[in-house]
């Protein structure tokens, strides 16, 4: 029997509970198999929303994952996550960033081996576009992928705040 639709506040609360459980399951799965469970993107979105006070976008929203509203201004944010366990090889890359989609900035959420956020960086569209279109890497130019180090270089850390 289908359940009754939940009010938005209770729905968000339940979603956060489920993602906390998924993080636990992901950790256990990794400990048993040495392989990731494939929940990094969802966990990264959850952590960004939780830590930065954002709103999740509608499901299957093309181009962006969350919305930030500040002083009457609305910004569309794409969220990319990367799990970096201790001893991770350098040169880790983020998933594809599509320049033809609608978004204002990209957030990079770095997670540890326990799927806990360790840092969040933000880069604006202009910086991302310049990095992705500069001559050089095929991964950057053709697939729209940036390395974690490059993203850190063109972005700014927004969590935890260093002020």
CA-to-CA distance for 40 and 84, rounded, in angstroms? Answer: 10
CA distance 67 to 23: 23
Give the pLDDT score at 96. Answer: 94
Distances (CA, A) of 96 to 30, 66, 103, 106: 24, 17, 13, 11
Q: State pLDDT tens for residues 76-111.
A: 999 999 999 888 888 899 999 999 999 999 999 999
Look at residue 113 and tell me whether its pLDDT is greater than 80. yes
């Amino acid at each position: 029997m289908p359940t009754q639709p939940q009010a938005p506040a209770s729905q968000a609360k339940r979603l956060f509970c489920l993602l906390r459980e998924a993080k636990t399951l992901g950790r256990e799965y990794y400990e048993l198999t040495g392989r990731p469970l494939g929940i990094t993107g969802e966990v990264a979105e959850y952590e960004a929303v939780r830590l930065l006070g954002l709103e999740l976008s509608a499901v299957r929203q093309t181009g962006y994952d969350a919305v930030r509203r500040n002083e009457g201004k609305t910004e569309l944010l794409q969220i990319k996550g990367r799990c970096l366990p201790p001893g991770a090889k350098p040169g880790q890359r983020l998933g594809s960033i599509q320049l033809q989609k609608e978004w204002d900035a990209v957030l990079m959420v770095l997670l540890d081996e326990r799927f806990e956020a360790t840092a969040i960086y933000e880069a604006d569209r202009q910086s991302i576009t310049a990095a992705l279109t500069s001559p050089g890497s095929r991964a950057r130019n053709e697939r729209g992928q940036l390395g974690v180090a490059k993203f850190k270089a063109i972005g700014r850390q927004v969590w935890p705040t260093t002020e």
